[in-house]
Structure 1
Amino acid sequence: MDFCISPRVEEFRTRIARFVDDEILPVEVRREAWDSHDNIAIDWLEALREKARAEGLWCLQLKPETGGQGLGKMGMAVCYEEMNRSIFGPVVFNSAAPDDGNMMVLEQAATPAQKERWLAPIVAGQVRSSFAMTEPHPGGGSDPGMMLTTARKAGDKYVIRGRKWFITGAEDAAHFLLIARTSDDPRRGLTAFLHHRDDANWRIDRRIPIMGPEEHGGHCEIIYEDMELPADRVIMGEGLGLKVTQMRLGPARLTHCMRWLGLAKRCTEIAREYAENRHGFGVRLSERESIQIKLGDLAMGIEMGRLLVMKAAWELDQGRFARKEVSMAKIHVANLLHKAADVAIQINGARGYSQDTVLEWIYRYARQARLVDGADEVHQMVLNRHLADEKHNFWHWDISQQ
C-alpha cells in the first residue's frame, strides 16, 4: 500500500487541526461548557457545529450525495485522528459514535425512502440515533446468535418484545436501529428494524451509571413490550439483520480506533509539555532517561496503531471485510489508549490525577475501550480462528497487478 495521503485529505486534516486548536480546545478548558455527564453542553456544542458546517468540515465520512465529502476509510483515519485531539472533537464534526456508524450503515443499506426519513435528519444534525443490539445475560452481546429479543410477524406488522442494555445514546436519540430475532435460522434468523422514540410500547428502564464520562444520551437499558412496527421499517430485508450488523460493526470498530489514536496523542502531548517545564532535583523531567523511555515507547505504540488502522482502512476501501485487520487494530489501540493515559498521569503526578487537565477524563473513558464493540478476548479468538483457517497465509502479502 502507498503510505502517502492525497493533497485533498491533507487539506482537510490541516483545516481540522486548526479548527480543533482555535475553536474546540478553548471551549474544552471552560468547565461551564461541560454538562453533568462530562460531555460538552448542548448549547456550546451547537455553536461549534454551526462553525464546522460553515467551514465545510461536516460529516466528512459520508458520500457527497448524502451530505459528506466522500473521504473513504483511509481519509477518515487521518481526519478522525486529528479531530480527537480534543475530547469534544468528533461530536462537533458529526463524526462521533453512535451516529457515525448508524449514518454509514444507513447510507449503504437503507432504501431511498428510508434514507430520506431516517438518515437525512441525522446527517443534518437535527436528531441523534442509537443502535440497539446488546442484551443482558443470557441474551446476545458479542455473539449476536444469542439474541433473545423477538420480532413476531403479525399480518403486515412486526411485534417486538425483549430487553436491550448498554445502548449508547438512547436517552437523547430519536432514531433507533434495532436488531431482533425473526426465526431460529442460524444465518438468517435476525432482522434489522428502524423505530422512532415516539413509537408506542417501548421504554427506557434506566440510564446505567458508568465509571467514565458519557456520550450524549448515556448508556441505557431498554424494554420492548409488544412494540408494533410496519414492514417498511425493515432494513435490507427479513433475515438479513446479521449482515446489517456486520456492515455496521466492522467499520465502527475501526472508527473508534481512529479517534482513540487522537486521544493517545493528546495524552503524549500533555505529558511532554509537562516534562519539558517541570524541574526536580536540578534537572528537567524530560532529561531523565526514565521519562524518555516512557515517551519513546508511547510514540512507537501510537505509530504501530496508526499503521494497523491504516492497513484495515485500506482493506475496507478495497471492498473487503478486513475482519482480522480490524480486530488487530481494535486490540492494540484500545490497550494503547489506556496505557497512554496512565503514563501521562504518572509523568504529571498529582496534576495528572486532578481535573486541571483532561487526562483523568481520558483515563476513565479509556477503560471501556477494551470492552466496547467486542472485548479484547473476543477479537483474540477471532484472530486465532483466522490463524487456524489460514495457517501461514495469515501473514500473506497482496501482490501488485502492475
Structure 2
Amino acid sequence: MTTAREEKALGGALMDFRISPELEKLRTQIADFVANEIMPLEERPDAYDGHGNIDEALLSDLRAKARSAGLWCPQLKHENGGLGLSKTGMSVLYETMNRSIFGPVVFNSAAPDDGNMMVLEALGTDEQKERWLKPIVEGKVRSAFAMTEPEPGGGSDPSMMLTRAVRDGDDWVVNGRKWFITGAEAADHFMLIAKTADDKRRGHTCFLFHKSQPNWKIVRRIPIMGPEEHGGHCELEFTDFRIPHSDILGEEGRGLKVVQTRLGPARLTHCMRWLGLAKRCVEIATDYAERREGFGVKLIDRESVQVMLGDLAMQIEVGRLLVMKAAWEIDQGRYGQKEISMAKIHVANLLHTAADRAIQINGARGYSKDTVLEWIYRYARQARLVDGADEVHKMVLNRHLGDLGTDFWHWDVEGEDA
C-alpha cells in the first residue's frame, strides 16, 4: 500500500494548469478593453487603412488608452517598460488580445515589433537598449527584421544567404537584397542578417541600422492576398551600405544565435494570437448558427454543424495545450524547438480551418465583409508559410525523432536536469 503523500506524488501534482489571480485580473482587463474599445471599430469602414489594418489615428488613441490602463508591452521586463510576464503568462494574454483583428498592435504586442523587442531585450547592450529598444517600447517608432531573400538566396536555409557584409575599418559594407520584410515601409529601426564568413555556424552577423542611413532602399511593397501589418511586406536593396561595427547585435559571427533567440518565441507568439482569431471564428459561427433557421430547423441543431463546431472546439484546446507546453519549455530556459514546431504546424492549420468552416456556416454572409471572417480567411493562409513552412517544421520534428528516439516523448522529472 502507498501513503497519501506517495499517492499525491504518483499523481503528478506538479502538472497545474491554473493561472494566478493577478494574471486573471490582467486577462479580464484586456478582454474588457478589446470588447469595449477595439471590436466596435471593426464594423466601421473608416477604421481601416488602405491595406486592411487599423487606421493610424485611431490606433494612436487606443494605444494611449491601453498604456494608461497599464496594459502595455506584457512581453518585456519591468525595467524595460513592460509588465514582466513569462511566456506562459503571455500565452494567456495574447490569445485574449486577438479576439479582435486589431487587438495585438494596440497593446504593442504585434509582429514584427513584438519579436524584435524581445530579442533586443535578451541580447542588446545597455546602450543598444537605450538607442534601439526604448523608442519601440514607447511606441515612437516601428521596427523590421530583414533576413529572407529572393531565390536563390536564403529562406528557411540560412546557409544559402547571398547578402554579404565585408569589414572595412570600423564599418561593415553590405551588399544584397531582402524580401518579404514585414513592416519595412513603416519601420525606423531595422535588424539585418548578413553573411560575414563562410563558416556555417559562425558565418552570419546581425546588424542594427536606422532608416535614415544612406545606400539602401525599398524596391517595392509586395502586394499580397491578405490584409497587411503596418508597413507591409517589402523588398529591400543594399548597395555599399555602411554599418558601424558598434551596431552589431550580439557578436560578430553569432547571427544565427540572434535568429534562434528571436524566431522561436516569435513563432510561438504568432500561435498565441492565432488561437484568439480561431476562437473568434467559432464565436461568429455559433452566434449565426443559433439564429439562422432553414427548413424549420436552426443551423445549430443540425448534426453536421454540431460536428464542425465541436471539432473546432477540440482542436483549439489541443492548440492551447501545445502552445502552453512550448511556452513552459522556454520559461525553463530551453529553446523548446520541437514543441514550438508542433504548435506552429497545428495552430497555423487550425486557424485556416476555423475561418473556412465559419464562412461555410455563415454562407454568403461569411464570404461578404459583413463579418471579419473573410479578413481572417485571407490572413490565415500565410500562417502555414511565415516563420517556416509546415514542411520545414515537420522535417525539424523528424530530425528530433531521429536524435531522441522514444525520448522524443519524455517526461521531465522534478529534481532532474532536462
Fold-level similarity (TM above 0.5): yes
Q: Which residue of 2 aligns with 1:164?
A: 178
Provide the C-alpha distance between the structure 2 equivalents of 1:325 and 1:104, rounded to a whole number of angstroms: 19
Once the two structures are superposed, what CA deviation does each residue of 1:227-274 show, in whole Å capped at 9, x if it has no partner? 101111101110010000000000000000000000000000000000
SS class of match (1:214): coil
Provide the C-alpha distance between the structure 1 equivalents of 2:216 and 2:415, rounded to a whole number of angstroms: 54
Provide the C-alpha distance between the structure 1 equivalents of 2:48 and 2:244, rounded to a whole number of angstroms: 40
- Give 1:155's match in structure 2, choosing from 169, 191, 200: 169
Provide the C-alpha distance between the structure 1 equivalents of 2:132 and 2:396, rounded to a whole number of angstroms: 33
- Give 1:262's match in structure 2, choosing from 276, 280, 283: 276
Q: Which residue of 2 aligns with 1:335?
A: 349
Listed as ranges, the gaps of 5+ residues in structure 1 are none
Amino acid across the alignment from 2:135: P
- Give 2:110's match in structure 1, choosing from 96, 105, 109: 96
Q: Which residue of 2 aligns with 1:240?
A: 254
TM-superposed CA distance for 1:401, in Å, is 2.7
Provide the C-alpha distance between the structure 2 equivalents of 1:236 and 1:208, rounded to a whole number of angstroms: 30
Which moves more between the two structures, 9-18 or 303-312?
A: 9-18
- Give 2:26's match in structure 1, choosing from 12, 29, 41: 12
What TM-score do the two structures reach when normalised by structure 1?
Answer: 0.99
Once the two structures are superposed, what CA deviation does each residue of 1:55-91 show, in whole Å capped at 9, x if it has no partner? 0000011000000011110000000000000000000
2:230 matches 1:216? yes
Provide the C-alpha distance between the structure 2 equivalents of 1:101 and 1:144, rounded to a whole number of angstroms: 19
Percent identity for Structure 1 against Structure 2: 71
Higher Cα Rg, which structure: 2
TM-superposed CA distance for 1:2, in Å, is 1.9
SS class of match (2:105): helix
TM-superposed CA distance for 1:8, in Å, is 1.4
Q: Which residue of 2 aligns with 1:142?
A: 156
2:98 matches 1:56? no
Amino acid across the alignment from 1:352: G
Once the two structures are superposed, what CA deviation does each residue of 1:185-243 show, in whole Å capped at 9, x if it has no partner? 11100000000000000000000000000000000000000110111110111001000
- Give 1:202's match in structure 2, choosing from 212, 216, 220: 216
Amino acid across the alignment from 2:363: G
SS class of match (1:264): helix
Amino acid across the alignment from 1:46: S
Provide the C-alpha distance between the structure 1 equivalents of 2:119 and 2:18, rounded to a whole number of angstroms: 28
SS class of match (1:229): strand
Once the two structures are superposed, what CA deviation does each residue of 1:309-335 show, in whole Å capped at 9, x if it has no partner? 000000000000000000000000000
Q: Which residue of 2 aligns with 1:25?
A: 39
- Give 2:87's match in structure 1, choosing from 51, 73, 81: 73
Provide the C-alpha distance between the structure 1 equivalents of 2:146 and 2:269, rounded to a whole number of angstroms: 19
Q: Which residue of 1 aligns with 2:48?
A: 34
Provide the C-alpha distance between the structure 2 equivalents of 1:146 and 1:394, rounded to a whole number of angstroms: 29
SS class of match (1:401): coil
Which segments of structure 1 move beyond 6 Å, counting only runs of 4 or more?
none
Provide the C-alpha distance between the structure 2 equivalents of 1:89 and 1:294, rounded to a whole number of angstroms: 26
TM-superposed CA distance for 1:145, in Å, is 1.5
Q: Which residue of 1 aligns with 2:12?
A: none
Once the two structures are superposed, what CA deviation does each residue of 1:131-172 show, in whole Å capped at 9, x if it has no partner? 000001111111112111001000110001100000000000
2:283 matches 1:272? no
Provide the C-alpha distance between the structure 2 equivalents of 1:362 and 1:27, rounded to a whole number of angstroms: 16
Provide the C-alpha distance between the structure 1 equivalents of 2:250 and 2:53, rounded to a whole number of angstroms: 34
2:282 matches 1:251? no
Provide the C-alpha distance between the structure 1 equivalents of 2:213 and 2:270, rounded to a whole number of angstroms: 30
2:395 matches 1:377? no
- Give 2:132's match in structure 1, choosing from 93, 100, 118: 118
What number of residue pairs does the alignment pair up? 402
Provide the C-alpha distance between the structure 1 equivalents of 2:306 and 2:337, rounded to a whole number of angstroms: 35
- Give 2:199's match in structure 1, choosing from 157, 175, 185: 185
TM-superposed CA distance for 1:6, in Å, is 1.2
2:119 matches 1:105? yes
Cα root mean square deviation, aligned:
0.7
Q: Which residue of 1 aligns with 2:96?
A: 82
Amino acid across the alignment from 1:315: E
- Give 1:228's match in structure 2, choosing from 237, 242, 246: 242
2:46 matches 1:3? no
SS class of match (1:204): strand
Amino acid across the alignment from 2:66: A
